[in-house]
A and B are shown apart, each in its own frame.
Chain A
Amino acid sequence: MPVRIITTHLEFEGRVSEQRVVMEGDEPPVWGEDAELRIVGKPTPRVDGRERVTGGATYTYDIQLPGQLTAAALRSPHAHARVTRVDASRAEAMPGVRAVLHRFNAGDLIDPNRDRSVFAEELPYAGAIVALVLADTREQAADACAAVMVEYETLPFVVDPEAALQPEAPRVLSDRPHNKLNDEYPQTYQRGDVDAGIREAEVTVEARFETPAAMHNSMETHGATAQWDGRTLTIYSSTQDIFGVRRAVAKALGLHQNQVRAIKQYMGGGFGSKFGPHESGLLAAYAAHRLGRPVQYMLSREDENVAAGHRSATIQHFRLGAQRDGTLTAIEQRTVGNLGALAGWFPATAMATKELYQCANVRTIDEGARTNLGPFAAFRAPGVVEGIAAMETAVDQLAAALGMDPLELRLKNYAERHQDMQRPYARKLLREAYEIGAERIGWATRDAEARRYPKGRDGTLRRGVGMASQLWGGDGGPPAQAQAKLLPDGTAVIITGTQDIGTGTRTVLAQIAAEELGLPLEAVRVELGDTEFGLYSPPSGGSMTLASMGPAVRMAAAEARKDALEIVGHLVEAPADALDIRDGGIVNRETGREMGTLGSYLEQLDGHEVTAKGMRGPNAENVTVRTFGAQFAEVEVDLGTGQVRVRRIVAVHDCGRIVNPLTFSSQIEGGIIQGLGFALMEQRVVDQRFGTVMNANLEQFHIPTIRDVPEIDIVLLDRPNTYANTLGALGAGEPPIIPTPGAIANAVAHAIGRPVSGLPLTPDRILDLLK
């Protein structure tokens, strides 16, 4: 098969990169509006549902290998310190303890993603790892941790991001000249002239909005189980990115990539926080390699919350200018991001600011501040959730200042093209989303309804309705590969190296393969989550799994089907294109005659398996592919207690073709519920005096329970986006969380008749606003 190399562009969480695609063969034509599909598009329960409800699904935490040791970490109690001495002699002598690793005996373990020793001398946050105990049991490991004696030299620290950016602030990392993310910060984006735009504005609004650090709290914490057999290191990792694990572990241990096998069959959530092996995976691998025994290191819930990431906190200042008729003349956003000590990038808080509204004069300034807090990690639409919440509440304030309906103001400034790239959107159904959502929530009568709303026994209940817009990429891209095998009995195995992080990837890929192969769903099995046998797949994040892997699987299946029909054609002495596979049977296309099952032919081949490869082709050039949507929220606020209750969310999202409406709606609901948690309750609390996190658990850090769930009304705009890929499908992981906090915040502002100043909208914040 001749190989072609094509250059394409890939957008991942707001950052665009150039990508080379190697293509062998061609992708099948796009499934358009009129494609007749039997399995794709039908609500389909998960193909691995049984494993998940019976305890048969083996998560990383559940791996138990003979002789396996368990690990527990000793972490720094200081916001900033240097470790000067570790005395592990007592710990090492305790029952069941096999090793204690720390700076003075394992300082050579370098985290390739941070270019820094895992056991660094400088501990830049409370929770930085100091020692790892390996013992036979969990209790023994915990006991020994408490017996490791450490001497620290404490250093000055700073946890407030604005204070950290002052010239006289203590250095977060002592070898750096400043606390900025890097020398390129602050980073400014500019289009037109914002100051002129503000001068020519007839109405201006200035708003400050803060968003909290929210911890992911995936139900399964970060961690790994590793085994070294003298030649190969096998690592079971709770990861969204097995190939990233392989790369980093090989590098850290000085092994070839063919000596490292990364496996992840089931994982208990990631939400963006589980790219690469994390320090826990590196430690498990290192310890297993060094001790020659299997090692499991899973983080405790507390360690997870201080050392495995969170959505970084922001302080945002918006300035908006408009003419009397609502036409925007200027948008300015200045964002201070509290990135923690070990950050490497800045979340896309400005993505929507640059393109959601038509405006000639736009400026965004990102100030990335390092502070003596744990590292942040991508969290479901990192930056975009925070940016949209701040901007959409500012837009509502502008609408109030103009005396205009907020939705009308948005439509007045509707952007038909991607202004930054100066090119069209492949499709933008945002206007439709606004209209449908407005209709369903009763937007036109929201003021009247609010006045009519029963005020409760104490006269303190108020109702509000608000909305916010959503924009995101989600079109995926190469490289992504898959293989299809047809076995002698006519069943199929689809081999990929992707991850199902809970979204239902295995199910949608099986649907796509079954559709293309002409087999019933039950005849298709999808393999994933193993670098040894899988083919390269991108990390499962950025809403790109389906849109990247789906087309690769579809192409592999299409090629396998072609080859199989070729073979059958030889056997029955008919041209292959006169034949078809339908529901597992061979059919003559013209006459419709049924000619027996596919298996009845393949089994004549003495064990030959039909195999074919597929890959994701290049992305469309000269257009921007986006998912757009809108959410509308109805809330009830008790002015007496400050309690906010979300009663209803209407969600309208265009994610292209919907492969599985059942799992799609689950993802939309999940995103909304996480967004609701971010809007109302999730907030890391840091003791400013000591720089320590006070609620690194699930008791004081609140996430939504089943009783917090509102009525959720999802409108499916199930239409293929033919520019996106051969499925016409886009990702749905991130879109649903993006507008929820902004919609809730605007609904609360509507209910209380005042603007809100930030999230979360806890009772004390509401009571403050009412003062």
Chain B
Amino acid sequence: MPNAPSQSPDAAPTAAPHRTVHLTVNGIAHEIEVETRRTLLDALRADLHLTGAKPGCGMGDCGACTVLIEGEAVYSCLTLAVACEGRAITTIEGLSSSDGELDPVQSAFIAHDALQCGFCTPGQVLAMKALLARNPHPSDDEIARAMSGNLCRCGAYPKILAAGRALAGHPS
């Protein structure tokens, strides 16, 4: 909540500095011109029109904005676009193959009903993807730890855990 009276009249910045950034998103190279303070989340959504990563809080509390940078799950709302120069980014739009075949994580989320409203789901799916990439057979506790940075207000957690268990090869 901006609080105007406490601001001095010349506090607001005038011309914001811009910079060119090269990002490879879902395998496609992009060159975009962004304000240096623009977050990766805003760059993906506003500049590249990839709206799969969601703004949930804008301050690193909810995980709705999760994307993969070189396979690692990050909060894109806390990452500056200019800090991603030359990096390979995967968003939810890039997870299924180009012929539309779903990633096993996506299929498991549908089969186990690991989603309700679905707003947190892109972030949950990518967080799970990152976990399985570094640890293909996580224990329940490892799944819960890895997923604990992704809030779900609908409470799909038991089903997210079930999807994770199935992907990890645990008997259901």
Q: Chain A residues in contact with chain B, CB under 8 A?
A: 45-46, 49-55, 57-59, 61-62, 64, 72, 74-75, 77, 90, 94-95, 126-127, 137-139, 142-152, 216-220, 266-269, 271, 298, 300-303, 306, 501-504, 662-663, 665-667, 669-674, 697-699, 703-707, 709, 712
* Chain B residues closer than 8 Å to A269, beta-carbon distance: 116-117, 119, 153-154
B21-53, CB under 8 A of A: which get 1 and which 0? 000000000000001011000100110011111
Q: Are B12 and A94 in contact (CB under 8 A)?
A: yes
Show 22 A/B contacts (Cβ-Cβ < 8 Å), sorted by A: A53-B109, A53-B118, A54-B92, A54-B102, A58-B51, A75-B1, A143-B16, A146-B2, A146-B11, A149-B9, A220-B54, A268-B54, A269-B117, A300-B58, A302-B1, A666-B116, A669-B155, A669-B158, A670-B154, A670-B155, A672-B155, A699-B57
Contacts of A674 in B (CB 8 A): 153, 155
| Contact partners of B150 in chain A: CB under 8 A | 706
Chain A residues, CB < 8 A from B35: 137, 139
Determine whether the beta carbon of A705 is less than 8 Å from that of B148: yes
A698 to B15, CA, bound (A): 32
Q: Is the CB of B115 within 8 A of A49?
A: yes
- Assuming the A-B contacts A95-B15, A268-B117, are A147 and B145 also in contact, with contact meaning beta carbons closer than 8 angstroms in the complex? no
Complex-state Cα separation, A752 to B65, whole angstroms: 41
Chain B residues with CB under 8 Å of A152's CB are 5
Contact yes or no, A502 B117, CB < 8 A: yes
Query: Which residues of B sit under 8 angstroms from A137, Cβ to Cβ?
Result: 35, 46
Q: B residues within 8 Å of A by Cβ?
A: 1-5, 7, 9, 11-16, 35, 37-38, 42, 45-46, 49-59, 61-62, 64, 91-93, 95-96, 102, 106, 109-111, 113, 115-122, 125, 144-145, 147-161
A703 CB contacts on chain B under 8 angstroms:
151, 153
User: CA separation between A705 and B38, bound complex, in Å?
Assistant: 29
**5 more A-B contacts (CB under 8 A) besides A54-B95, A268-B118?**
A145-B4, A146-B7, A148-B4, A266-B118, A302-B1
Q: A53-B125, A55-B91, A61-B51 are in contact. Are A150 and B4 (CB under 8 A)?
A: yes
Q: Is A46 touching B155 in the complex (CB atoms < 8 A)?
A: no
A50 pairs with B102, CB closer than 8 A? yes
5 tightest CB-CB pairs across the interface, nearest first? A55-B52, A268-B119, A502-B117, A673-B155, A52-B118
Given A139-B38, A148-B4: A64 and B156 within 8 A (CB)?
no
* Contact B117 A220, beta carbon cutoff 8 Å: yes
Q: Which residue of A lies closest to B107 (CB)?
A: A53
Q: Which residues of B contact A503 (CB under 8 A)?
A: 116
Cα A268 to Cα B14 with chains together (Å): 35
Residues of A within 8 A of B54 (CB): 59, 61, 219-220, 268
| Majority secondary structure of chain B interface residues (helix, strand, loop or mixed) | loop
- Bound complex: CA A501 to CA B115 (Å): 12
Collect the chain B residues with CB atoms within 8 Å of residue A148's CB: 4
Q: Main SS of chain A's interface residues?
A: mixed
| Bound-complex Cα distance A72 to B3 (A) | 13
Q: B4–A146 contact, CB under 8 A?
A: yes
Closest partner residue, chain A, to B11 (CB atom): A146
Known contacts: A52-B115, A53-B106, A666-B159. The answer to whether A147 contacts B1 by CB under 8 A is no
8 Å CB contact of B4 from A46, A149, A271: A149
Asked whether, in the complex, the Cβ of B111 is within 8 Å of the Cβ of A706, the reply is no
> What is the chain B residue whose CB lies nearest that of A133?
B2
Complex Cα gap A217–B92 (Å):
23
Interface contact A219-B64, CB-CB below 8 Å: yes
Tell me how far the C-beta of A91 lies from the nearest C-beta in chain B, rounded to whole angstroms. Answer: 8
A706 touches B160 (CB 8 A): yes
Tell me which residues across on chain A come within 8 A of B122, comparing CB atoms: 53, 55
Min C-beta distance of A665 to chain B, whole Å = 8
B125 lies within 8 A of A271 (CB) = no
Closest A-chain residue to B53, C-beta based?
Answer: A55
Say which residue of A501, A665, A707 sits within 8 Å of B117 (CB atoms).
A501
Query: Is the CB–CB distance between A61 and B2 below 8 Å?
Result: no
Do B155 and A143 have beta carbons less than 8 Å apart? Answer: no
Distance of A152 Cα from B62 Cα, bound (Å)? 34
Is the Cβ of B1 less than 8 Å from the Cβ of A306?
A: yes
In the bound complex, what is the Cα–Cα distance between A697 and B46 (angstroms)? 24
User: Which A residues are CB-close (under 8 A) to B46?
Assistant: 137-138
CB distance from B6 to the nearest CB of A (A): 8
* Cβ A55 vs Cβ B5 within 8 A: no
Complex partner residue of A303 from B1, B121, B147, B154, CB under 8 angstroms: B1
Q: Give the residues in chain B near A139, CB-CB below 8 Å.
A: 16, 35, 37-38, 42
Tell whether, in the assembled complex, residue B9 and residue A219 are in contact, meaning their CB atoms are under 8 Å apart: no
In the assembled complex, which residues on chain A have CB atoms less than 8 Å from the CB atom of B115? 46, 49, 52-53
The chain B residue sitting closest to A147, CB to CB, is B12
Interface centre among A90, A151, A269, A302 (most CB of B within 10 A): A269
Q: Given the complex of chains A and B, what is the CA–CA distance between A699 and B59 in angstroms?
A: 8
Give the shortest distance, in Å, between B49 (CB) and chain A (any CB): 6
CB pair B117–A143 under 8 Å, yes or no, is no
CA–CA, A14 and B156, complex, Å: 28
Check if B38 sits within 8 Å of A219, measured CB to CB.
no
Closest CB in chain B relative to A508 CB, distance in Å: 13
Chain B residues with CB below 8 A from A126, complex form: 1
Known contacts A146-B12, A712-B158: does B51 contact A55 (CB below 8 Å)?
Answer: yes
Residues of B within 8 A of A58 (CB): 51
Query: In the complex, A300 Cα to B122 Cα: how many Å?
Result: 20
Q: Are A143 and B12 in contact, with the CB atoms below 8 A? A: yes
Query: Are the C-beta atoms of A707 and B148 separated by less than 8 Å?
Result: yes
Residues in A with CB closer than 8 Å to B125 are 53
CB pair B56–A219 under 8 Å, yes or no, is: yes
In the bound complex, do residue A670 and residue B156 qualify as a contact, i.e. CB atoms below 8 Å apart? yes
Known: A58-B51, A670-B116, A673-B157. A53 touches B121 (CB 8 A): yes
B42 contact set on A, CB distance < 8 A = 138-139
CB distance from B114 to the nearest CB of A (A): 9
